[in-house]
């Protein structure tokens, strides 16, 4: 059985599919390495699309990780995203059913 994890009305709310692969030329090194700048980018995506949430894909090959200081481990570099991200406004309730 599925349950909502954030408030969402399928009749009125919209999602923005965020692309964090090499196909998205807007995601620059500066953006990847600056949390504030990255947050502003997500907020702008939401505002311009009219979406309530942005979502990032499961099993997405995120080459942006290779440009991030957080994921540049030489032994085992991380590139494959194994989760589904949901970005929304600060203060959004998150449910754990």
The two tokens of residue 87 are 């970005």
Whether the pLDDT of residue 69 is over 90: the answer is: no
Instruction: Report pLDDT for 79.
Output: 75
The strand order across the sheet containing 53-56 reads 15-18, 53-56, 85-87
- Cα 96 to Cα 93: distance, rounded to the nearest angstrom: 10
70/88: higher pLDDT: 88
Q: Distance between CA 82 and CA 33 in Å, rounded?
A: 20
Please report, for residues 67, 78, 85, 90, the alpha-carbon distance to residue 74 in angstroms, rounded to integers and kept in the order given: 13, 9, 25, 34
């Amino acid at each position: 059985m599925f349950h909502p994890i954030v408030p969402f009305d399928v009749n009125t709310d919209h999602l923005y599919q965020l692309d964090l692969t090499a196909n998205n030329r807007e995601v620059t090194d500066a953006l990847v390495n600056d949390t504030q700048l990255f947050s502003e980018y997500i907020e702008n995506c939401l505002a311009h699309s009219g979406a309530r949430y942005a979502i990032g894909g499961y099993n997405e090959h995120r080459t942006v990780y290779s440009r991030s200081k957080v994921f540049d481990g030489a032994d085992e570099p991380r590139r494959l995203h194994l989760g589904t991200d949901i970005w929304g406004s600060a203060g959004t309730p998150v449910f754990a059913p």
